[in-house]
Amino acid sequence: MLFMKGSPKEPRCGFSKQMVEILNKHSVAFSSFDIFSDEEVRQGLKTFSNWPTYPQLYMAGELIGGLDIVKELEASGELDTICPKAQKLEDRLKSLINKAPVMLFMKGNKQMAKCGFSKQILEILNNTGVDYETFDILEDEEVRQGLKSFSNWPTYPQLYVKGELVGGLDIVKELKESGELLPVLKGEN
């Protein structure tokens, strides 16, 4: 967690900007908190951490330090060993697609669809008795946009079986009508 002035997209001081640049250069996965948004946190964290300046970088709840410390860690090569790497989007998408044998990327989830197309595909899948997992694309804009490019399929829902794109609602309806849906879902084709 990076406590900074501003946000990674709009740092509001040179030190925060340099810190963000270093973390991004090393593909470090981090979230941030704008200390200008909460004066109590801004002042309280200085006392809590016994560190008087910002930005402050924390990992697993422990203070790593400010910009000078991060620069030292970068120079020594330690930054790459102590900081978690951001998973590359393509690797993340492959991992999500293969999370379950039958994976549905949709608006909403099994319990509550958030669009008519997603609702229809849930009804079809639920009637097959086949186990499946869902991923709510409304919760993750990076996945929502990235999967469109990755799969070369511009709309949602998107159904995957054993890591392969089956298609959207229209394809699933056609497979159902032709009697091919169950074999496809079971990976028998």
Do the first three CATH levels of 2-82 and 89-186 match, i.e. the same topology?
A: yes
Encoded tokens for 60:
């697993």
Q: What is the pLDDT of residue 118?
A: 97
| Domain boundaries, given as residue ranges, for the chain | 2-82, 89-186
Per-residue pLDDT of the chain (189 residues; tens, 9 = 90+): 999 999 999 999 999 999 999 998 888 878 899 999 999 999 999 999 999 999 999 988 889 999 999 999 999 989 888 876 666 788 889 999 999 999 999 999 999 999 999 999 999 999 999 999 999 999 888 899 889 988 999 999 999 999 999 999 999 999 999 999 999 999 886
What amino acid is encoded at 182 in this protein? L
Homologous superfamily of 2-82 in CATH? Glutaredoxin (3.40.30.10)
Pairing type for strands 2-4 and 32-34 reads parallel
Pairing type for strands 102-106 and 133-136 reads parallel
Q: In angstroms, how far is CA 76 from the centroid of its own chain?
A: 30
The whole-model pTM stands at: 0.58
Q: 89-186 architecture in CATH?
A: 3-Layer(aba) Sandwich (3.40)
Q: What is the pLDDT of residue 161?
A: 97
